[in-house]
Amino acid sequence: MPRTDVTVSGISSGGAMAVQLHMAFSEDISGCGILAGPPYYCAGNFMAATACMSGPLNFVTASGILMKLKWYDSIGSIDSISNIRGDPVYIFTGKYDIVARPSTVKINENVYSELGANIKTNYDMAAAHGFPTDNFGKSCATLNLENYINNCNFNMAYDILNHLYGGNLIKSKSGTQTPLIGQMAVFDQKAFMNPPSSLTDSQTPSSSLLQWISESMNLYTTDNWAWPTSGLVNWTIPSVTTVHTRQAITRALSHGFDEEGFIYFSSACAQGQKCSIHVALHGCQQGKRYVDDVFATKAGYLEVAELNNLIVVFPQVAPTMFLPTNPMGCWDWWGYSSLSYATNKAPQMISIKKMIDTVRLINQAMVASV
């Protein structure tokens, strides 16, 4: 199967999930960014997850993780680990991170080194547990419980994506705003997990397909969105200006997912260009039921996407007290949704992979429409 230009990144539980996705679907996902995230299969239950984050961590080693990966590879529970060789991988941990122990995060480097990945590390920033930006959030060394985004005078989203896409991406000029003239949308996550078979048609999209897209996506602009929007090719898509976050902790839609996710089509992609896809995964207490669209719009991904013709997908999980038990809205990296949570059989893993495939097919339909 040919490799594609799909990459993933995430912070904290999202970082752990990004690693799982990369390992499980390495035939299709060709790069991974890990911010303050524990290594693959660090935990198998909630108590182990707590130890993975805060230590002491004596039971997790790179050699043990590699043995697990080789076993999963041998039984087909992940794609061949040989695919990882040469893949770009970015690993970040802040010097002042008291939530995810830096020594634990650094095990990722040992694992990926053995697999022959092209690794870039960022370990020297005087940062707390959060997503560094160059223009938004609390001070870099402060644990920002409000949204886990910190102004470190550093464009982390650019640094990650630049490494994952070859090192030659265009960067926003310092002190200037990048016009976000593409299109932000919210999408029905359940629909994107179960798209109609007509999406596979590479010809000009049918009216039924366009109807499905209009029912599954809403063009999204916030009250403080400063830029005009370009729409999606010549399609008619309904608009929405707010997303109701519903703070109450309830049963999740499916396997812990929230009802809606965010997606940004850069202007070139929105007008019918074939584009690379990046999946950006929020951390615990950073999904839209906690911070609305803050992670999606303020972490810096949109500006890099606009300047470099990318589509960025922001899947969302919801906080729940039961079925599954996930009170902080974390991605599953310890088994709350499935004992096989880190494999290509796990429900959250399969669901995100289906979202990726659906976005790719929608982009192909856009290209066919031009």
* Structure confidence by residue, pLDDT tens digits, 153-186: 999 999 999 999 999 999 988 777 898 999 999 9
10 band by pLDDT with thresholds 50, 70 and 90: very high
Judge whether residue 325 has pLDDT over 50. Answer: yes
Determine the pLDDT at residue 251. Answer: 45
How far apart, in whole angstroms, are the C-alpha atoms of residue 280 and residue 10? Answer: 6
Amino acid type, 356: I
Average pLDDT over residues 194-208: 71
CA distances from 151 to 125, 138, 242, 263, 300 (A): 12, 6, 26, 23, 11
Amino acid type, 290: Y
Judge whether residue 139 has pLDDT over 80. Answer: yes
The model's pTM is 0.94
Between 175 and 299, the higher pLDDT residue: 299
Question: Can you list the alpha helix ranges (DSSP code H) found in the chain?
Answer: 13-24, 46-54, 62-74, 102-105, 107-114, 156-164, 189-193, 207-216, 267-270, 288-291, 294-298, 301-308, 347-369
Average pLDDT over residues 90-119: 96
Q: Mean of the per-residue pLDDT values for the chain?
A: 90
Determine the pLDDT at residue 249. Answer: 43
56 band by pLDDT with thresholds 50, 70 and 90: low
Residue ranges of domains in the chain, CATH in brackets: 10-169 (3.40.50), 179-370 (no CATH)
